[in-house]
Amino acid sequence: KAGVTQTPRYLIKTRGQQVTLSCSPISGHRSVSWYQQTPGQGLQFLFEYFSETQRNKGNFPGRFSGRQFSNSRSEMNVSTLELGDSALYLCASSSEGPNQPQHFGDGTRLSIL
Amino acid sequence: GQQVMQIPQYQHVQEGEDFTTYCNSSTTLSNIQWYKQRPGGHPVFLIQLVKSGEVKKQKRLTFQFGEAKKNSSLHITATQTTDVGTYFCAGLSSTGFQKLVFGTGTRLLVSP
């Protein structure tokens, strides 16, 4: 069974730009969660999608948004990028939600110049 | 909001020594999960604990869930260099929003 696939692996952007990250979950998994990982803040929850609906959201500004498609693939978008958005963005999938083991992708390393 | 703290933040041991990391939640948890992240890698699920006072073992790793379901620990016996990485606990609150809150992590370094 293929694991969670995130693209791209690395991204360099400048302040003010926007970016879209993609996540393909494990086949059959309907829950996709996104996390931001930084050395100072650890793993911070962004949002969780289940069957195309956002079920939970973390404490991030509205510049961070996401969506999930009917095939469970998910995208997250960050608009008006700031230097502080530089981080590793991790996607995790599970069959039903956060009460089950989360399977993480390798992440997208986003650097803002 | 719910907070999950881990101590220590960092530990350096000699191969063969034991290691323990502690996880404390500000709220009661319905379950707790443990993950390991190797340097340059992504978190990998280790185990999930659900019952009050539960103890589970995986070879040299022993996981405990506190009686009050607000704390947990991971103990590694006779560490090996392959144990190097950051260990995270992640708690699911028993009330309110169903989202996993990750602990601050304990980075383990093992010297041969």
pLDDT tens for chain A, residues 1 to 113: 789 999 999 999 999 999 999 999 999 999 999 999 998 778 999 999 999 999 999 999 999 999 999 999 999 999 999 999 999 999 999 999 888 999 999 999 999 99
pLDDT grade for B93, boundaries at 50, 70 and 90? confident
pLDDT for position B99 = 84
B chain contacts of residue A104, beta-carbon cutoff 8 Å: 42-44
**Predicted local distance difference test score (pLDDT) of residue A78:** 98
Q: The tokens 């510049």 sit on which residue?
A: A63
Average pLDDT for residues B6-12, to the nearest whole number?
96
Contact at CB, A45 and B100, closer than 8 angstroms: yes
Torsion sign, CA atoms B97, B99, B104, B105: positive
First to last CA, chain B: 41
The closest alpha carbon to A89, from A28, A32, A1, A6, belongs to A6
Q: Give the pLDDT of residue B97.
A: 66
Q: What is the pLDDT of residues A46-74, one digit of tens each?
A: 999 999 999 999 999 999 999 999 999 99
> Which residues make Cβ contacts (< 8 Å) with residue B59, sequence separation at least 6?
none
Asked if B103 and A42 come within 8 Å (Cβ–Cβ), the reply is: yes
Copy the structure tokens of residue B44.
């990998």
Q: Exposed/middle/buried for A25, CB within 10 Å: 0-12, 13-18, 19+? A: buried
Chain A 79-98, residues with CB within 8 Å of chain B CB atoms:
90, 92, 97-98
Find residue B93's DSSP bridge partners.
B29
- The predicted model gives B38-49 an average pLDDT of 96
Does the pLDDT at position B98 exceed 80?
A: no
The pLDDT, as a whole number, for residue A42 is 85
Over 80: is that where the pLDDT of B42 sits?
A: yes
AA letter at B105 = G
- Within its chain, how far is the Cα of A55 from the centroid? 14
